[in-house]
Amino acid sequence: MTDKNTEKDINIIADPTSVNTTASSESGTGDAPVHRRRKRYSGKYPRKFEEKYKEHQPEKYKEDIDKIIQKGKTPAGMHIPIMVNEILEVLNIKPGEVGMDATLGYGGHTEKMLEKLRGSGHLYATDVDPIESVKTEKRLRDKGYGEDIFTIKRTNFRNVETVADNGDKFDFVLADLGVSSMQIDNPERGFSYKTDGPLDLRLNPESGESAAERLRSLSYDEIVHIFIENSDEPYAEKIAKEIIRAYHKGEHIETTSELRNIVKKALGFLPEKEQSDAVKKSCKRVFQALRIEVNSEFEVLYDFLNKVPDCMNPGGRIAVLTFHSGEDRLVKQFFKEMKRAGIYSDISREVIRPGKEECFINPRAHSTKLRWAIKA
């Protein structure tokens, strides 16, 4: 293991914050590469997202990453795929088939599905995130998955009918509706109330309104509706009143910390011993509700579920991972109605959940629900 001083003082290392530049050497040749020193951090271990250079390079520091995962933590900058074995069992992928991964993300599920194809068939993947999809594509291309077997379309999965080329239809489809851990952990994306950053919450930060912009345009009634409809927030009215009061006083709500403070202030009436836990839970729900609103997540899911059967071959299998009750209700409703209409020949009778061991290794799996259907 590297000791504390070496850990902090090493200066020739390939990490996200080191930059290779061309600078003049002492001889004046001007072509000697210079390795800039990695940014130092206080303490034994890095705490800030940008300082966790090992976690940003899981392939290089595999042993360290495995230790982090075994402790029940998700390494910064990466995502642990959920319910992989259950999904592969449901999809029953065979070589030569054509499939779709509706939400590419970190590519964990994608890679496992590609392995099942064994070099024959094709997998299409969609993702609107211009930042993470580029990184994921490079990882998978470097592992040998070329355009002959794997195609990425940078489009929303609600446009499922435009994804496959040459009129191909899908034998298997996966839609993992969760936000990727690397999006949550990066404070610049504004997905988490736990770290300070811009109140953004967009899956595609290059398009549409940020959460801060959207929140500013909403009335009291609209805020209450969004908080209740999207996340069942029990203190929706009190939090909405505090938001409107802040705007009337000329205050800004532009960062994650500013919104967290608003929630904390709104819940100030609670007994002191209850406040801390209540604020955490309400912040989680409020941020979830705004994320759903900003990215039109229910509308996107509705369009996808409505269109996807026409894009599947007879006998095609679809698996959907949901992470909150609103999504699960919509998927359950669609699958039941389409089975009654004869569009699906079979659907999951009960929801499938991750096991205790997986939930320990990956705490973000706790709320996951899996449902499946088979095209008639």
The predicted-structure confidence for 330-347, as pLDDT tens digits, reads as follows 999 999 999 999 999 999
* pLDDT over 80 at 372, yes or no: yes
pLDDT value for 186:
80
pLDDT value for 52:
44
Q: Is 274 exposed, middle or buried (0-12, 13-18, 19+ CB in 10 A)?
A: exposed
* pLDDT over 50 at 176, yes or no: yes
**Full DSSP string of 227-271:** HHHHH--TTHHHHHHHHHHHHHTT----BHHHHHHHHHHHTTTS-
Query: For the residues 23-37, what does the mean pLDDT come to?
Result: 50
pLDDT value for 61:
53
Q: Is 69 exposed, middle or buried (0-12, 13-18, 19+ CB in 10 A)?
A: middle
Question: DSSP secondary-structure letter at 198?
Answer: B
Question: In b/e form, how buried is each residue of 292-323, taking b as 16+ CB within 10 angstroms?
Answer: bbbbebeebbebbbeebbebbeeebbbbbbbb
The radius of gyration computed from the CA coordinates of the chain, to the nearest angstrom, equals: 23
Most confident of 129-133, 182-186, 264-268: 264-268
The answer to whether the CB of 287 falls within 8 A of the CB of 192 is: yes
The CATH code of domain 84-181+298-375 reads: 3.40.50.150
Check: CATH 1.10.287 for 204-294?
A: no
- Mean pLDDT across the chain, nearest whole number? 85
pLDDT tens for residues 280-302?
Answer: 999 999 999 999 999 999 999 99
87: its two tokens: 């999904």
Q: What residue spans define the domains of the chain?
A: 4-70, 84-181+298-375, 204-294
